C-alpha cells in the first residue's frame, strides 16, 4: 500500500479544509465565532463560572466577563447562583442558545455530508475506518520510553 511522503502534513491540510467547511456553514449566524465558542464550552460544562471560562479561553477573567455580558444582553446566557455555594455564579446557556447550537451542529453536519457525497462510497468507508483508528490512537496513553534491559547490563 502506498503511503504519502508526509502523512502528518496531509492530515493537517485536511484538517484545515474541514475547518473551512465547518466555518462556512456558520456564516449565516449573527453570533460572532468567539461567542459561539463560549456557548459551546459552557453548554458542555455545567459547572462553568467566569473564572473557569477565562481559563478555558486563556484570557483574563474581566475579558471573559465582558463576553458573558454580551451573551447575556442578547438572551443567550444566564448567570445563576450555584446551589452548592451561593457565592459562586454558574454560566448557563439559555434555550435560545441551545437551539442556536443545535442549528449550527445540523448545518455543519450537512456541510460535511455535502463533501462526503462527492466521494466514492468505498473512500467514505476507508475514511471512516481511518478516523476511528486515529481517534483511538489519540486517546491511548503514551507509553513511557522503555529502556533496553540488555543495554543496561553491558
> What are the tens digits of pLDDT across the range 13-40?
999 999 899 888 877 778 888 899 999 9
CA Rg, the chain, in Å? 22
Q: Tens digit of pLDDT for each residue in 66-125?
A: 999 999 999 999 999 877 877 888 999 999 999 999 999 999 999 999 999 999 999 999
Per-residue pLDDT band at 6 (split at 50, 70, 90): confident
Region 18-119: CATH code: 1.10.10.10
Please say whether the beta carbons of 68 and 79 come within 8 A. yes
Helices of type H across the chain? 7-25, 33-43, 50-57, 61-73, 95-116, 121-139, 149-153
CA–CA distances in Å: residue 24 to residues 29, 67, 99, 107: 10, 23, 19, 9
Among candidate residues 82, 106, 104, 88, the one with its CA nearest the CA of residue 35: 104
Amino acid at each position: 500500500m502506498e503511503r504519502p511522503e508526509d502523512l502528518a502534513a496531509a492530515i493537517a491540510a485536511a484538517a484545515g479544509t474541514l475547518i473551512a467547511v465547518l466555518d462556512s456553514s456558520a456564516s449565516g449566524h449573527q453570533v460572532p465565532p468567539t461567542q459561539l465558542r463560549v456557548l459551546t464550552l459552557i453548554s458542555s460544562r455545567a459547572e462553568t463560572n467566569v473564572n473557569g471560562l477565562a481559563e478555558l479561553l486563556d484570557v483574563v477573567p474581566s475579558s471573559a466577563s465582558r463576553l458573558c455580558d454580551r451573551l447575556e444582553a442578547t438572551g443567550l446566557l444566564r448567570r445563576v447562583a450555584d446551589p452548592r455555594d451561593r457565592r459562586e455564579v454558574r454560566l448557563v446557556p439559555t434555550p435560545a442558545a441551545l437551539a442556536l447550537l443545535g442549528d449550527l451542529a445540523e448545518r455543519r453536519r450537512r456541510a460535511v455530508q455535502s463533501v462526503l457525497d462527492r466521494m466514492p462510497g468505498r473512500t467514505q468507508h476507508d475514511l471512516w475506518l481511518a478516523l476511528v483508528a486515529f481517534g483511538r490512537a489519540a486517546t491511548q496513553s503514551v507509553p513511557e520510553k522503555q529502556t533496553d534491559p540488555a543495554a543496561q547490563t553491558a
